[in-house]
Chains A and B, each alone.
Chain A
Amino acid sequence: MAWVGLIVLFLAGCGTGFTASVKPKEASSSITPPPEDTQGGGGIIGGNGKTGGANPYACAAGSDPGTRDLRRLSRREYLLTLQSLTNGYADLSQIADQVNLLPADTVSNVFDSTDASVSIGHIEAYLGIAREISAQLIAKPEWIRSVVNCEYASGMTDTCWSNFFNGFAARVYRKPLSSQEQADLKALFATEVSYGVPAGLQAVTMALLQSPNFLYKVEVAGSPLNGREDILKMNDYETASRLAFLATGRGPDAILMEEARNGRLATPEGLKTAVQRLFSSAEARENVEEFYMQWLGAKRLPSSTHSDWFLAGVSRGAIAPESLQELRDLTSDLTWTKAGGYKDLLVSETSFVKGQALGTIYNGQASLPSGQRPGVLSRTAFLLSATNQTSLVHRGLLVRRNLLCDKIIFPTITDENRELFQPPKPNPLASLREQIETRTAVPQCMACHSKLNPMGFVLENYDALGRYQTEEKVFDANGNILARHSINARVRPNIESEDEPEVDGLAQMSEAIAASSKGPACAAQQWFTFVEGREPRTSDSCSLSTLFDSLMDKERVSPSGDAPGTLLNMMKASAFESNFRVRKVGPQN
Chain B
Amino acid sequence: MNKLKRNVELLQGNEACVKGAILSGVRFFAGYPITPSSEIAEGMARLLPQIGGKFVQMEDEIASIAAVIGASIAGFKSLTATSGPGFSLKQENLGFAIISEIPCVIVNAQRGGPSTGLPTKPSQGDMMQARWGTHGDHSIIALAPSTVNEVLTLTIKAVNFSEKYRTPVILLLDEVIAHMREKVEIPAPEEVEVINRKKPTVPPEEYFPFKPDQNGIPPMANFGEGYRYHITGLIHNQKGLPTSNPQEIDSFIRRINNKIQENVKDIIIYEKYFLDDAKIALIACGSVARAAERTVKLAREEGLKVGLLKLLTIWPFPSEEVNRLAQQVDLIIVPEMNLGQMVLEVERASRGNCEVVSYSRVDGELINPIEILGKIQEEIKK
Partners in one complex: no
Interface residues of A (CB under 8 A from B): none
Interface residues of B (CB under 8 A from A): none
